[in-house]
Structure 1
């Protein structure tokens, strides 16, 4: 049930120093209210209609009028409830009243978000509406060129959408100044607290004008978020559409009890279903392992985690959005910025760290009033842990024992038998992960200075010269033998077999002598390295 609530800060945050008019009582949102009726300008109403958005969601209908009036707003709503437009539309409306361009380095509005992915999605969500008013929305996040952001800030930015870390860099280097910020929004404040960003958030808010308007949106209000509210949201109103627990109206929860030896088979059948699926693993290695096992049976899955470079993460997410990749395997941190409509199944492959992570994972589905299903794959030794987690999250999850091919598994998740035909390496694995030089696969690697093809060092492949000169050669697997051309500038080359199994080795020192060397452990012919000779 939706709770349309408007409360004073003293009702919600127990702090006598925060004063809000006591006359503010709980109000109900009028059914069927339109964006035009809550005070948005015609250009925005028309832009929303072009995107088939005509009726505001509950959190939008409650918070937008107060935000338009310049009031500080604390919005408590579940992921997928329309929070981005709830703070974005009033922000754009306020800035549209300016007739001049923003000054260099001085944005007029600021949106702080916990992750890069969420920043990009906020920018995408607001851009079309900002364009209708002649305003600019730009991101400032890590993993993307700093110089480009500096250039955009120098040209003037109306709305800056930033992560705390990268914005802190700009502030320290003087490439962004926040003394002209009129309105600040914090999105997913509870996630910023979980990720340890609140000290940076406090520092950033301290750089904005004390009399500026502030909007804070969060799915839950733990102690750290409450302290932020007390410090920076004086005289605010609170609008809540959820109680911080799971939505039972649009989301079904199941605990799927499986035997340890059947977990991979059950996951494979779930992955083969029709529709968009997101699976959660605890670690980066866990993500990669699940993805590899799914692809080995014909499921087009890709992984998303912090070990990937930003451009890789962006491409993986884009393929998931457009349907080329129906199954995404992600860690909690990487997935916090995933706001993709049409995800109808969330799978907890590994248990979440706590009930808040359970709710954040579950919030990837049942967005914007859609229906969704959340399932946890639970082994016998995990039943007690999941019972505690679901209880704390306010979830009434039905426990169902399932096996590969069972009717219950198909009914709950739409599971199907996978094709069993292995897929080639996923696009994101072919792009080498950030900081990852290992792996069992090869690929094309240009010479660091001049180019060359390098296969995996453990499976063999052609490797061009690394230092930009024309020499080089073919290098097979070092453990199984192969042809290795000379790596240095000496003119000699030779065939080197595996040292453990025997093979022909030419001279390494550029001279013409050398000979046959058998396995040192089993005997063989070895030419004297200086003059040749037989050695058993």
Structure 2
């Protein structure tokens, strides 16, 4: 932390007052280093570790300049003055939450644009006129092609988490979008790392830029304590997961697949530990609802895939648990960065089975993390110390019975595209009628005859899958296909 105030850095008094109202009185190093250049209109390349304050570092100059000499006069439909690109919906939403109160000081309007939701609200906001757009590349490109938004009036463009956009394959789209912004505009690029093609963006779009790097590319937060807990079996790992999740503070549990994130959240809830999941299979309203429940304290456990590794900025997350160690070291650093944010302390635990020891050791070496593995059980003193006070048991609310596949589900789309997506997700071909069109879902003769054929061939099952423990799973071929998870 630093004792330099925002006022001392030249931030206008109205914004200083708003920042003070929001409890932000002292600037972080990335903000101290960059604000003089960004507020003067220079192109800036900023690198800082996760949780270092990059969002505020670009939000302050963006609002300061638009509220001052760059004020664009009357708003024009579909022609924003500032653009912030972010790789994920969650990150776009949280960037917008930082910008909005600052923008209100000068009467500036902002909106978010991302996929996974209807575009109607986004189009309506653009038609009404907005000053600042915070967008994910895919949906923004769609709206540009449809003629709802033009970037020819953009004065300031910000690329946040550019390296993650590269990881997700967004660089070609980002390049197309950046090409539509005026060459004379200011460009700010903030990221935790500058590899994987990000240097090409810098060379092409930033002019006479200033580099501000407050951390090494693999730097981790010094206030973060890392633990590696080795367990001999899946059953003992399950007991350890339940114990680590039982504390009173907020914690995030990271899984590799969507299916197991959803499953673990349910099992913890059923065990009296209210939990929600966050992953790519959820609709945007469900993502927003679950994240809001976690942020408000309604639930204290979030079970997530790597979709949350960069996009979740919730205060006071005291513990991050790598239930499944990630595939590569950057994911480890970004997952871990959900705790120990804004100068606070935090703990990170990686759970390791015997067959994962070698890969986990290599992962930590690449992440420049030095930690001695410990062999533990759920009752070990090291575990008790991390858990602290155990939260009271919460009786789980009754869960609505799930209807079998093929039966009508209220509000469930029966369109061809929806059926195709469900078929792909389930690993089964979409059903069609005699003309080749998708068959209507529901009972009917086809469903009954399918059941009769299955029974006749001895394939009907009376017991279903028996799953033992929190993260147990079938080892059959069909189950393996359904475990293709991802984010």
Q: Specify the TM-score bucket, using the shorter chain as the normaliser.
A: 0.7 to 0.9
**Cα offset, 1:397, TM superposition:** 2.2
Asked whether the equivalents of residues 9 and 35 of structure 2 are also in contact (C-alpha less than 8 Å), the reply is yes
1:131 and 2:104 aligned = yes
SS at match of 2:342: helix
Asked whether the equivalents of residues 51 and 340 of structure 2 are also in contact (C-alpha less than 8 Å), the reply is yes
Q: Partner of 1:482 in structure 2? A: none
Asked whether the equivalents of residues 298 and 422 of structure 1 are also in contact (C-alpha less than 8 Å), the reply is yes
Asked whether the equivalents of residues 410 and 416 of structure 1 are also in contact (C-alpha less than 8 Å), the reply is no
With the length of structure 1 as denominator, give the TM-score of the two structures.
Answer: 0.74
Q: Partner of 1:67 in structure 2? A: 38
SS at match of 1:365: coil
SS at match of 2:158: strand
Return the match for 2:260 from 265, 286, 305: 286
Q: Relative contact order, CA 8 A, sep 6+: which one is greater?
A: 2
How many residues end up aligned between the 2 structures?
419
Asked whether the equivalents of residues 304 and 335 of structure 1 are also in contact (C-alpha less than 8 Å), the reply is no
With the length of structure 2 as denominator, give the TM-score of the two structures.
Answer: 0.81
Q: Partner of 1:195 in structure 2? A: 168
Q: Partner of 2:237 in structure 1? A: 263
Query: Where in structure 2 are the equivalents of 1:206-225 lying within 5 Å?
Result: 206-225=179-198
Change (3 A) 1:443 1:117: farther
Change (3 A) 1:117 1:439: farther
Q: Partner of 1:359 in structure 2? A: 333
Q: Runs of 5+ in structure 2 lacking a partner?
A: 415-441, 446-450, 454-487
Q: Partner of 2:368 in structure 1? A: 394
Q: Partner of 2:120 in structure 1? A: 147
1:346 and 2:337 aligned = no
SS at match of 2:204: helix
SS at match of 2:42: coil
Query: Where in structure 2 are the equivalents of 1:403-482 lying within 5 Å?
Result: 403-414=377-388, 416=390, 419=393, 423-424=396-397, 445=410
SS at match of 1:360: helix
Asked whether the equivalents of residues 306 and 334 of structure 1 are also in contact (C-alpha less than 8 Å), the reply is no
Asked whether the equivalents of residues 246 and 395 of structure 1 are also in contact (C-alpha less than 8 Å), the reply is no
Q: State the alpha-carbon separation in 1 of the partners of residues 168 and 331 from structure 2.
A: 12
Q: Partner of 1:118 in structure 2? A: 91
Bigger-Rg structure (1/2): 1
Change (3 A) 1:297 1:224: same
**Cα offset, 1:120, TM superposition:** 0.9
Query: Where in structure 2 are the equivalents of 1:29-68 lying within 5 Å?
Result: 32-68=3-39
Task: Tell me whether 343-352 or 147-156 shows the greater mean CA deviation.
Answer: 147-156
Q: State the alpha-carbon separation in 2 of the partners of residues 132 and 431 from structure 1.
A: 49
Q: State the alpha-carbon separation in 1 of the partners of residues 125 and 78 from structure 2.
A: 8
Asked whether the equivalents of residues 221 and 337 of structure 2 are also in contact (C-alpha less than 8 Å), the reply is no
Asked whether the equivalents of residues 115 and 163 of structure 1 are also in contact (C-alpha less than 8 Å), the reply is yes
CA RMSD of aligned residues (A): 2.7
Q: State the alpha-carbon separation in 1 of the partners of residues 352 and 210 from structure 2.
A: 41
Q: Partner of 1:375 in structure 2? A: 349
SS at match of 1:367: coil
Task: Tell me whether 112-121 or 220-229 shows the greater mean CA deviation.
Answer: 220-229
Q: Runs of 5+ in structure 1 lacking a partner?
A: 3-30, 450-477, 479-485, 489-497, 501-536
Q: State the alpha-carbon separation in 2 of the partners of residues 80 and 171 from structure 1.
A: 32
Change (3 A) 1:42 1:289: same
Q: State the alpha-carbon separation in 1 of the partners of residues 114 and 266 from structure 2.
A: 30
Asked whether the equivalents of residues 308 and 335 of structure 2 are also in contact (C-alpha less than 8 Å), the reply is no
SS at match of 2:197: helix
